[in-house]
Amino acid sequence: MNNKKRVIDHISRLEGQIASVKAELAKPDADCEKASKTLLSASRSFATLREQFVTCFLAEYFVDTKGQKSKTFSTLLTLIKG
């Protein structure tokens, strides 16, 4: 699976999590604990998505056609991941 497909799939999962929170809160007898747990998962998922997106973008410019990562690619990922 290529990097862009992974990012798109991740976005789809995140959209599902957000829709689930919205649907739960729209209920008259909303389970706020359930909604908050799903929202926490979505928050963590968003952080991972951001990292995947940046990695995908950097791979376009810093990985050669043979899949060899440049030193710049590795350095930038280290900086981004903190």
72: containing domain: 3-81
If we measure between CA atoms, which residue out of 23, 50, 44, 52 comes closest to residue 35? 23
CB of 21 closer than 8 Å to CB of 42? yes
If we measure between CA atoms, which residue out of 47, 48, 21 comes closest to residue 36? 21
Q: Residues 8-42: pLDDT tens digits? A: 999 999 999 999 999 999 999 999 999 999 999 99
The number of distinct structural domains making up the chain is: 1
Q: Is the pTM of this model over 0.75?
A: no
Residue 14: phi and psi, rounded to 5, are -65, -40
Using CA atoms, how far apart are residues 82 and 33, in angstroms rounded to an integer?
31
